[in-house]
Amino acid sequence: MLSLGTSEVRTVVAIGAHPDDIEIAAGGLLLTLAAAVPGVRVHYVLCTGTANRQAEARAAAAACLPGAELSFDLHDLPDGRLPGHWAQTKQILQSAAATVTADLVLVPSPGDAHQDHRLIGELALSAFRDQLVLHYEIPKWDGDLGRPNLYVPLTDEMARRKVEVLNDAFPSQKSHDWWDDEVFFGLMRVRGMESRTRYAEAFTCAKATLHF
């Protein structure tokens, strides 16, 4: 099994269709990265969100990335309607690529069953042609979880902290039936089993370059 370190990851662009996407999918990675790389720069991009939801996202980013250099590009396109705003969504991604030269880009999967997630995943590879792009996964009732090919092991502490951040930062989402600690821990445990560790988050990398 190939192992990759975080020593060269100094700048990250994290893109979500909605507030909470990034933290549900990659909150553990962000917590681990902040601990491993003090002062890491992370540029948050969200395509949808009310003012209240955007405030939740800012709080979650700060909790997941203590000591990081954070910047935000938050938009209010209609939730669930991004394909109808294809040009604006593409411009958001292209602007992020032009603003930040990232070592790592986090985006949804192009195979995600949610139309907003799927569009961003499809557009990301053309917007970020020269960066390492990792496609994250979000559990949902559609049952669209696939076969990831890259894992980020998480300590028990990081897994617990991730779930704490989700519950503390996103009170508006707790009424949903899918918002459940067992869902969050369960997926991390399954991905941990697959990667021979206790907990993990999983990603798909469509293309990567190995430098010597």
Decide if 34 contacts 67 (C-beta within 8 A).
yes
Under 8 Å CB-to-CB from 4, ≥6 apart: which residues? none
DSSP conformation letters of 63-84:
HHSTT-EEEEEEEEEPTT-GGG
Q: Which two tokens stand for residue 58?
A: 């800012």
CA distance 20 to 133: 19
Distance of CA 15 to the CA centre of its chain: 7
Residue 132 has pLDDT above 80, yes or no: yes
Backbone angles phi, psi at 197, to 5 degrees: -145, 180
CA distance 10 to 40: 5
Q: What is the pLDDT of residues 115-130, one digit of tens each?
A: 999 999 999 999 999 9
Residue keyed to tokens 């991009």: 45
Residue 114 has pLDDT above 50, yes or no: yes
pLDDT at 1: 45
CB neighbours (10 Å) of residue 2? 5
Q: What is the pLDDT of residues 165-196, one digit of tens each?
A: 999 999 999 999 999 999 999 999 999 999 99
Decide if 32 contacts 115 (C-beta within 8 A).
no
Backbone angles phi, psi at 92, to 5 degrees: -60, -45
pLDDT at 8: 78
